[in-house]
Chains A and B, each alone.
Chain A
Amino acid sequence: MNDVVLEVTGIGKRFGAVQALRDVSAQFRSGEIHAVLGENGAGKTTLMNVLAGFVVPDVGTVTYRGKPLPFGEPIAIRRMGLEMVHQHFMLVPAFSVEENVALAHIPGLLRPLRASRLAEPAVRLAKDMGWEIAPSARTNGLPVGAQQRVEILKALTGKGDVLILDEPTAVLGPDEIDDLFRVLRGLRDQGRAIVLIAHKLSEIMAIADRVTVLRRGEFVGTGVPTPVGNGGLDARTLALWMVGELPEARHDRSVAASEEGLALESILVRGDRGEAAVRDLTLAVRRGTVVGIGGVDGNGQVELAEAVVGVRPLVQGEVRWRGERARAGRPQVAYVPQDRRGDGLALRMSVLENLLVAGHRDSALKRGPFLRLGAAARWARGLVERFQIKIGSISDPVGGLSGGNQQKVIVARELSSEPELLVVVNPTRGLDLRATRYVHDQVRRARNAGASVLLISTDLDEIAELSDETYYLSRGEVRPAALGAAALVGGVP
């Protein structure tokens, strides 16, 4: 037990101008859950991609049980026994769940294949874990959380003795995270090596046997996480390792105004497959308040958000703004969608253009029928600076940014417009500590400026921290929940 399975030595990797990894060394052992921690863009994903064969490093070596790892050959590496859960799901949207699982476990190209049979172990495991998955459902109809579950199950049922999971918890509910961790502990105890990336320190503290921290591509250190006070690697120290210094959290609850704002009256909204995704939902978000809605992903969150911002038609009921119906009194709306790459960004377009998605309506950036490109560029640079988006130039394609920075582009553009109604769904998904704080500050700022804020999130801490009123969504219905994470968790059936 506990022998070194993967030995990483002096790995460096540069992408164009970005030094993603610099002289990183680490040891991953069997029978150990090893967390890798770092801010957005620290190089975690890149390192994992090196291990899995998707990125070839410029320098350095990795040995697997003493043998050199064949860089850039994912097939060979998988055969050797490395399984990976990618940060961006490697699920074929048009495939059923079982086909996706089967794809990961094809016995041979020329052999006959029955997806349902190949998916059996995964389905069984899901049942054992108490996770709900529908084997024959099309993947693209599934909520993100369910997709994450499939992605994890795919890897867990592989034969690999090294398991790499890149941010598997980002969209899971608390119960699901517990389930996952239980399984991971089990696998660890069977002697597998597990490498886990997560941003939440609480999660790391809960599960990791050892932690390696990266900062801006550089190796900071490896240690054993311990609860606060023992002078060991406690949460505060870890945070310091990650960031260098810790920004102050601000709490300014200056809720005052309570004018009428958004009101939902018995709305019924259908999902993509025609199911009643939101049922008979009534809710009011007064101006200057944040209403937080928690709950496990896939209970109508996306449909609710889309109905409120007017992207999805109402089947019944009405959405009012300051007492007026629908279009008449349309407020200035800002919307941070849940699926940033799917709904939020045009990945091949530049940072500037993605910011302009909101800005092109702004009369200050137009002259007559034309856009003022100079003014737009200045405006965009201002946002990049204000929101600390890490980019080379505003004309870079947004698809090349790290997930966190992509999220910041959306947040920046949506909050730049002094919205009256703000709808945000999982706004800090995959963001690091610093960025999360910043986004939270911005949401508060909008609220303090008098906006009605509808916050939908699977992150209960986030809801607890920001919301003035809290609810949870369950199967398309909304129920009030007492403030506080614990109560919320308790309230979810």
Chain B
Amino acid sequence: MKRVFVEGGLVLAGLLLILIATIATFGLPVGESLRMLAEGSLSGGGLARTLVKATPLILAGLGMVLAWRAGIYNIGGEGQYLVGALGGAWVARVGVAVPALVLKPLVLIAAFLAGGLFAALAGLLMVKRHVQVVISTILLNFVALQFFNWAVTGPLQEASRRLPQTDRVPDSLMLFRLDRQNDLHTGVFVALASVAVVTVFLFLTPTGFRLRLVGDNPRAARANRIEPGRLQLLAIGLSGGLCGLAAGIEYLGITGQLGYGFSQQIGFLAIPVALLGGLHPIGALFSGLYFGALFAGSENLARFSGFGTTIVFVIQGVAVIGFVGLRALIERRRTPEAAL
């Protein structure tokens, strides 16, 4: 336990150094920049912004944890996120007559199902046709993006059919906002609950156990009469479902409508979130929060540093590389004889 704290401290200190170095390299005032980063991510409203940004990352990150634990390299989070959003928007559209209290969960469930079914497509291609998920999901991402763009200019387009976006859902359908001054909404609790559910599922249920077994050694699973195919399908389906749910939460939590630019790369970022979290749901929670804070902080920095938007990407790239590098270094020092 103590080691965890020492390591955590080391990582944080290292990250700070990396951040400072990056900022200094670009000729920004270090103290001021750090203040802006902290203000944007931690103080008062900053914390809320961190949580808002972390929510979809945690959900989609959990999805990646599930898939990767089952040995499936799902990098189709982005596509599953987009299709999930469409599923939610479709239900919101056809269900206008349904009372909001009932419709709200239905929209989220639809988002989950749509994302899950879309992911299951890649799963089926793997199980039935031996197409690698890494590749099929990369390709499906491109397809999903076009599908999304088509849907918001076609069947799901707003009633007036002018803009490439869906109609805004009525306020009553939106998730409850905890604070009017920012977008902090109850979706945060969905994310937290999902962390708990996924943890319990993976580590406390026979199915979760089998899923991890299949991920570690599908042949051993088969030899023990556990059919990998169905479990893998389940895993990627749940994975896509969580990405879809992330989109549904963003839809009902923040935008209330879909249009171009709806996805902010959540599905891609989910991968580093899951991997930095050690492919553990609790880890994904913390790395989701870390990324949320990083985005909230660096956006704030970009906004008010006078340097403009572009540095956000540099800082984020350097921070991810730095984080991974530090972790790897520590890992290396700790286990001179690494396990397999």
Contact = CB atoms under 8 A, between A and B. Distances in A.
Nearest to B227: A311
Contact of B213 (A357, A369, A371, A400): A357
A309 B222 CA distance: 10
A361 B206 contact: yes
Interface string B21-55: 00000000000000000000000000000000000
Given A345-B217, A399-B339, A356 B209 contact: yes
A371 B204 contact: yes
Interface in B198-244: 200, 203-206, 209-210, 212-213, 216-217, 219-225
A399 B339 CA distance: 7
A451 to B, nearest CB: 17
B340 interface: yes
A348 B216 contact: yes
Interface in A323-381: 333, 335, 337, 342-349, 353, 356-358, 360-361, 366, 369-371, 373
A174 interface: no
Given A349-B213, A371-B209, A400 B339 contact: yes
Contact of A357 (B204, B219, B220, B337): B220
Interface in A299-323: 306, 309-311
Contacts of A306: 223
B220 A373 contact: no
A16 interface: yes
Contacts of B212: 346, 349, 353
Size bracket of the B interface: 20 to 34
A343 B224 CA distance: 9
A399 B216 CA distance: 11
A358 B224 contact: yes
A333 B205 CA distance: 22
Nearest to A396: B339
B223 A16 contact: no
A309 B203 CA distance: 27
B203 to A, nearest CB: 8
Nearest to A335: B223
Contacts of B217: 342, 345-347
Given A311-B225, A360-B209, A369-B205, A347 B216 contact: yes
Nearest to A333: B225
Main secondary structure of the interface of B (DSSP, over half): helix
A349 B337 CA distance: 17
Nearest to B222: A311
Main secondary structure of the interface of A (DSSP, over half): mixed
Size bracket of the A interface: 20 to 34
A491 interface: no
A306 B206 CA distance: 23
A397 interface: yes
Nearest to B218: A346
Contacts of B220: 342-346, 357
A349 B210 CA distance: 12
Contacts of A361: 206
Contacts of B223: 306, 309, 311, 335, 337, 343-344
A228 B206 CA distance: 54
Contacts of A357: 213, 220, 224
Nearest to B226: A357
Nearest to A357: B224
Contacts of B210: 360
Nearest to B224: A357
Kindly name the residue among B209, B212, B220 whose own CB sees the greatest number of chain A CB atoms within 10 A. B220
Contacts of B221: 346
A15 B336 CA distance: 9
A492 B150 CA distance: 69
Contact of A346 (B213, B225, B337): B213
Contacts of B206: 360-361, 366, 369, 371
Interface in B288-340: 337, 339-340
Contacts of A346: 212-213, 216-217, 220-221
A234 to B, nearest CB: 38
Contacts of A310: 225
Nearest to A370: B204
A256 to B, nearest CB: 30
A272 B298 CA distance: 54
Nearest to B209: A360
A311 B218 CA distance: 12
A356 B207 CA distance: 12
A345 B203 CA distance: 18
B160 to A, nearest CB: 49
Contacts of A353: 209, 212-213
Contacts of B213: 346, 349, 353, 357
A335 B224 contact: yes
Nearest to A336: B223
Contacts of A309: 223, 225
29 contacts: A15-B337, A16-B337, A309-B223, A310-B225, A311-B222, A311-B223, A311-B225, A335-B223, A342-B217, A342-B219, A346-B212, A346-B213, A346-B220, A346-B221, A347-B217, A347-B340, A348-B216, A349-B212, A349-B213, A349-B216, A357-B220, A357-B224, A360-B209, A360-B210, A369-B205, A370-B200, A373-B203, A399-B339, A400-B340
Given A311-B223, A348-B216, A358-B224, 10 more contacts: A333-B225, A346-B213, A348-B340, A349-B212, A360-B209, A361-B206, A370-B200, A371-B204, A397-B340, A399-B340
> Which 6 A-B pairs give the minimum distances between C-beta atoms?
A346-B216, A343-B223, A346-B217, A399-B340, A360-B206, A370-B204
